[in-house]
Amino acid sequence: MVRINLDTPDIMDAQEASKIWGHAENYVRLFYQQNPNKFPKGTIRKIGRQWVVTTEGMEAITGEKDPRKK
């Protein structure tokens, strides 16, 4: 079994990710509803009522590298 480090900053909730990339809080949710195939497999998931996305997923849909690493 692969161990996943949940302390990594590369996993975040969708609202936080939207803010980091400079978009409205609902950007990730709306983008996913309209373009689910744009997210690479395994980069977004709904857990309960919360959407969780990875840095890789955000970079794929925005075309921008992680702004926190600039």
10 and 54 in contact (C-beta within 8 Å)? Answer: yes
Per-residue model confidence (pLDDT) at position 17: 98
Residue 31: the pLDDT is 97
Tracing tokens 């997923």 back to the chain, one arrives at 57
* CA 16 – CA 25 distance, rounded (Å): 7
Q: pLDDT tens digits, residue range 2-52?
A: 898 999 999 999 999 999 999 999 999 999 999 999 999 999 999 999 999
Q: How confident is the model at residue 38, as a pLDDT?
A: 97
27-34 helix and 55-62 helix, angle to the nearest 10 degrees: 70
Spatial distance between the Cα atoms of 38 and 34, rounded to a whole number of angstroms: 9
Q: What per-residue confidence (pLDDT) applies to 55?
A: 97
